[in-house]
A and B are shown apart, each in its own frame.
Chain A
Amino acid sequence: MDLSLSTRTVGDRTVVEVGGEIDVYTAPKLREQLVELVNDGSYHLVVDMERVDFLDSTGLGVLVGGLKRVRAHEGSLRLVCNQERILKIFRITGLTKVFPIHTSVDDAVSATD
């Protein structure tokens, strides 16, 4: 399955809904999307990963890259994920300490810490 991307604005946050597989082939599309958002002045991003079927280290790299970019503008990048198979990858790489991971988009959008 290919990657699907859609964005919407909720208050001052931009929610990026990602679906499908994020791997070495599709990750560049996600990278482009995140770079474009930051270039357009969206610095508070919520990446909704509930419809992601597969995520590998290339995808993690893109998310870390996105976090670096928004932080340069004092922004934030929050993730929404409840899938154990995806969460496991964040855990074994220690990235749960780097990304705030929320259980719902509502929760991520209203988070301020």
Chain B
Amino acid sequence: MATVELLFSALPEHVRTARLVAAAVARRAGVDEAVLDEVRLAVGEACSRAVGLHRSVGITTPVRVRLTEDEKKFSIEVGDDAPHTAVAEAVAGSSGTSAMDREEASEAEDDMGLAVISGLVDDVEVSAGESGGVIRMSWPTVPASVLP
């Protein structure tokens, strides 16, 4: 079971809330203070992307964020319900132009979001299918005994 689970309506204004919650849980889990900025940014990118996907396809279900604290790592899963098959290939090729068409904005924000995530997080996995996609990320935690 996830330590904290968050569901939010696919609206841009709630992405900040997801960032704050993720950073707070990560801090408690023992993620290094210096890495919290990365956690905040990565979860924000993943949620922004999920919100964009839901809105572009007109899906009314919420975006899911699962924050899980394990013994040695802290994991975040951001799930969307947008059917997309081309996303995984786009990430694998790390060029990713297929996702651009969905964005109403002219800037390639979606691609840049994935670029930021893959640049920031060492352990990241992006999967996508007919029923939706998930971005899984994890960070090592510092054992409680060595915390100041």
Residues of A in contact with B (beta carbons under 8 Å apart): 21, 23-25, 54, 56-58, 60-62, 64-65, 85, 89, 92-93
- Docked Cα-Cα span, A58 to B116, in Å, equals 11
Please determine whether A56 and B37 come into contact, CB atoms closer than 8 angstroms: no
- Docked Cα-Cα span, A56 to B117, in Å, equals 10
Residues of B in contact with A (beta carbons under 8 Å apart): 12-13, 15-16, 19, 37, 40-41, 44-45, 48, 51-52, 105-109, 112-113, 115-116, 119-120
Q: Which of B106, B107, B119 is the one whose CB lies under 8 Å from A92?
A: B119
14 sampled A-B residue pairs with Cβ under 8 A: A23-B12, A24-B12, A24-B15, A24-B44, A24-B52, A54-B41, A56-B45, A56-B113, A57-B113, A58-B113, A61-B108, A89-B116, A92-B119, A92-B120
* Given A60-B116, A62-B107, A64-B107, 6 more pairs with CB closer than 8 A: A23-B16, A23-B48, A54-B44, A56-B45, A56-B116, A57-B48
Please determine whether B15 and A60 come into contact, CB atoms closer than 8 angstroms: no
Please determine whether B16 and A56 come into contact, CB atoms closer than 8 angstroms: no
Residues of A within 8 A of B16 (CB): 21, 23, 25
Instruction: Give the 10 A-B residue pairs with the shortest CB-CB distance, closest first.
Output: A61-B107, A92-B119, A57-B112, A25-B12, A24-B48, A61-B109, A57-B113, A24-B12, A25-B13, A65-B107
Please determine whether A93 and B48 come into contact, CB atoms closer than 8 angstroms: no
Taking chain B's interface residues, is the majority helix, strand, or loop, or is none over half, making it mixed? helix
Residues of A within 8 A of B48 (CB): 23-24, 56-58
Q: Which of A56, A62, A85 is the one whose CB lies under 8 Å from B44?
A: A56
Q: Decide yes or no: A85 and B112 within 8 Å by CB, A24-B12, A24-B51, A57-B48 being known contacts.
A: no
Which of A25, A56, A61 counts the most chain B CB atoms within 10 A? A56
How distant is B114 from chain A, measured CB to nearest CB, in Å? 8
Which of A25, A56, A57 counts the most chain B CB atoms within 10 A? A57
Q: Decide yes or no: A57 and B115 within 8 Å by CB, A23-B48, A24-B51, A92-B120 being known contacts.
A: yes
Q: Which of B12, B19, B40, B45 is the one whose CB lies under 8 Å from A57?
A: B45
Residues of B within 8 A of A92 (CB): 115-116, 119-120
